[in-house]
Structure 1
């Protein structure tokens, strides 16, 4: 039997409300979403997680091959959000909706315009299917463009159910970054994996910085794009026979290229003008 409770008696409970820069939030989502698992059946990895703490939000994702985090400054928050309140999980499809609805645009005319987005996390209480059953909580996130005097575009999306198997990406990356630096002679990366990080380079309009660390059974690569994005990927390792083959290829190049110059001259400086 369907619950016939009057919907007007049901109240939403706001858990937190924060305001962020729209462009900064968009860049974080664009850089990180590609690192979430594409297979919806891997529900613990098929999600983008927003960790919300005092003054800062980490947008994270991981699929077992790569992991990534981008940070977003919180411009304003209510009293509840002043402390660490946990995280909010969104599906990749819903993140796509956010990127489609909220745009920054060009600021050629008004450079001083602040593009702001208010993010409210709340719980709606829905009637249960059976009479007398407790109300069913349905968490959701409501996003509103608050750049001007009058609120603009708005979007409401469901929050994914909690999954205890979802990785704690901030702690994972903290362990990898804190590990001792290492040097890799030769390593491999598939085009698909390295291509994920080009999204961050494009989102933040910068180059990728790559370093190696040794903190466990195998080396890890730490990939950064500017100051607000960091990720990691495990490079491919090769058995000794394949390494020998790879070295032989390099030796073939040395045999077939002309002899090196005794004094090649100064190396060109990136971005410098060519000599006349």
Structure 2
């Protein structure tokens, strides 16, 4: 059944409105990073201006305080993903395949960790990191971020593993394959799109997290979200510097999702169509 012209026009108008709602703030922040300071909050908004690069140059050129923080964010987010998968994948497989007593309660506990506000853990984590001599290190932030990434990854990976037919694993077990071989050579290749999607979301969670690095990092290991917060001062808010740092913080996750978009679609639709 074909849609009428008014119906198609309404659909396209709705799609355009949604595009403006989602893309508009990003586009406005990009303009905020390169517009003159006296046009930040003029009404009506000034759309025609000569771009200036003072804010971008200050953040990433001279003195470039945010450039090391950008590298720190990459180190912390990538490290959190690499530490996350070796723990979450076996745990998700066990919760999917084995009859574990209290499995539902364990999954609810994981969900509770995701729902709890990170600020509730800041003081205990700070005291613990200081007690073991890890405060101010990359490892302390990578380790503490597992309280967010591992529960989320277990929930997501378990749903992917549930879609893999058990008969395939039983056939491999009859042939003498161990559990580690089944996970590594059978299950993992079948759920690879789901693993990639899980890793991407874990990276974004770690990349955007400002609460844990705020109390666990120092001047040398501070991440970009922490550096952006420092532009909110008692003397005022430097919106141009904030916009420059925020735009730079958007770029790596956007590039990752654009480069791996085919895996996102395959991962999010994994198991939705049954043969």
TM-score with structure 2 setting the length: 0.21
TM-score with structure 1 setting the length: 0.21
RCO higher in structure (CA 8 A, sep ≥6): 2
Structure with greater strand percent: 1
From the CA coordinates, give the structure whose radius of gyration is larger.
1
